[in-house]
Amino acid sequence: MNEIQRARIILKILNQTYPRIKVPLKSRNVFTLLISVLLSAQCTDVNVNNVTKKIYPKYYKPHHFVKLGRSRIEKLIKKIGIFRIKAKSIYNLSKLLIKNYKGRVPKTFEELEKLPGVGHKTASVVMSQGYGFPAFPIDTHIHRLAQRWGLTNGKNVIQTEKDLKRLFPKKNWNKLHLQIIYYGREFCKARDCYGISCKICTTCYPNRKKPIITKKA
């Protein structure tokens, strides 16, 4: 079975398992989506949602966070990992959005990735979930699963993104990256499946006996 055949099987199983998918991070608009994705680095979606549900009803525009200032932003997000660094990024990107984009979140990868604290993965999520632009955000979980499933060599997340975009139709990207995340959390867990027990692994590799060691992103 080659990688193209595996990709077709994987897409079929994921569509059967998750015919409808919800965006895990809760947001009020594209700006708050950007903030939530930034906050989710080294933090669970559940924790981010628990923190932001007390913030977004009142603060949901760049000028709200500029007016708050860094110290007050820190207090609001202190339950989230590396909150001081994230508070600095939120404050500075909010100022930039007001100065350069009239308070709106830009709609290009290039402009998004110039914002403080915003890397390619964060920009991809905003473009995908915020603007519906075909994108394939790659986090550590998708990177791990793509290796287990024989879709990439695990060299780095950049290579993984290229490989997945090559193997799957563009029309599926936005939904697919979420399906993979959910499937990994529920069935192909890092310390549970090991590449030998879930439906995707057993279908794609029926003769696999030993756990698969994946390369970190």
Q: Which of 12, 107, 139, 215 is catalytic?
A: 139
186: pLDDT confidence band, cut at 50, 70 and 90? very high
58 is catalytic: no
163 is catalytic: no
Q: Which of 53, 121, 162, 163 is catalytic?
A: 121
DSSP state of 66: H
Choose among 133, 130, 129, 110: nearest CA to 120. Answer: 110
pLDDT of residue 109: 97
For domain 30-130, the CATH superfamily is Hypothetical protein; domain 2 (1.10.340.30)
In the predicted structure, residue 62 carries a pLDDT above the cut 80: yes
Report yes or no: 162 and 142 within 8 Å, Cβ to Cβ.
no
Domain boundaries, the chain: 3-21+136-204, 30-130
CATH architecture of the domain formed by 3-21+136-204 = Orthogonal Bundle (1.10)
pLDDT of residue 214: 85
In the predicted structure, residue 201 carries a pLDDT above the cut 80: yes
pLDDT of residue 51: 97
DSSP state of 196: S
Average pLDDT in the chain: 95
Token code pair at residue 162:
């290229």
pLDDT tens across 112-160, in order?
Answer: 999 999 999 999 999 999 999 999 999 889 999 999 999 999 889 999 9
In the predicted structure, residue 39 carries a pLDDT above the cut 90: yes
